Structure 1
C-alpha cells in the first residue's frame, strides 16, 4: 500500500473547464486537494478564501471530507439566478402563451 493516491480537482466556467490530476497523501481533505491543485491561480474569479462549495461526482460535500483514491473534487460556482425564480418566470411565460393562444 502506498502513502499517496491519485485524485482530480475540477472547475468549470461556461467557456472554459479545467481538470487537474494529482497525487496527494492519503488522508487529504477536499479543501486541501483544491489548494494543492493550484487551480485557484488559473481562474481570476475563483478564490478559496470565499470557501466555494465542493462536491464529489455531483454530490455536495464539506471541505473537511477525507478523499478516497480516484475521486474528483468539483468546485462549484455561485448561482447567479435562483432556480426557483427561473421556474416561476418560465411557468408565467407559458401561462401567458397559452392565454394568448386561446384568445
Structure 2
C-alpha cells in the first residue's frame, strides 16, 4: 500500500513485435512521464528498455493509448506506454495485403456485376 505521497502506475513497452513488457512502479505524487522512466531506469529496468536515456525522446509516450508529452503529470492507476516507431506505414501495408489477395476475390469486390471492372 503506497503512502500518501506516492502513486502506483504501470509502465509498458514493446521492444519488438509480439513482445510486451509491463512493470508496476511506485512514483511520488506530481511525477512526470520523464521522471517515472528515469526512476524505472535507476531501479534496474529490464534490458529491453533503451539503456541510453538519449534514445527515449524519440519514443512516443502515451497513457492508456493516448499520446502525451514527456512533461505530462501522472495520476494514480495510469498505464504509461512507450511506443516505438512504425516500420511500415499501415496504409501501405494494407495496400500490399490487398494486392496479394487479388482484387476480385475478397471483401466488397467478391460479388460484382458481370462486365464491370474490378473495384467498381
TM-score using structure 2 length: 0.68
Q: Which residue of 1 aligns with 2:25?
A: 22
Say whether the 8 Å CA contact 2:7–2:26 is kept in structure 1. Answer: yes
- Root-mean-square deviation over aligned CA pairs: 2.7
User: Could you list the runs of 5+ residues in structure 2 that have no partner in the other structure?
Assistant: 115-120
- Say which SS state the counterpart of residue 80 (structure 2) adopts: strand
* Greater helix proportion: 1
Which has the bigger relative contact order, CA under 8 A and spacing at least 6? 1
For residue 87 of structure 1, report the CA deviation from its aligned partner.
1.8
Aligned to 2:83: 76
Q: Secondary structure at the match of 2:39?
A: helix
2:37 corresponds to which residue? 34
SS at match of 1:11: strand
C-alpha distance in 2, partners of 1:6/1:35? 16
Q: CA, structure 1 residues 94+75, in 2 after alignment: closer, same or farther (shift >3 Å)? A: same
Structure 1 or 2, whichever has the larger Rg, is: 2
CA distance in 1, matches of 2:80, 2:49: 19
The structure that is strand-richer by fraction is 1
Deviation at 1:41, TM superposition (A): 5.1
TM-score, normalising length: structure 1: 0.77
Q: Which residue of 2 aligns with 1:4?
A: 6
- Please tell me whether residue 59 in structure 1 is matched to residue 85 in structure 2: no
Q: Which runs of 5+ in 1 are unaligned?
A: none
Q: Secondary structure at the match of 1:81?
A: coil
Distance 1:33 1:24 in 2: 7
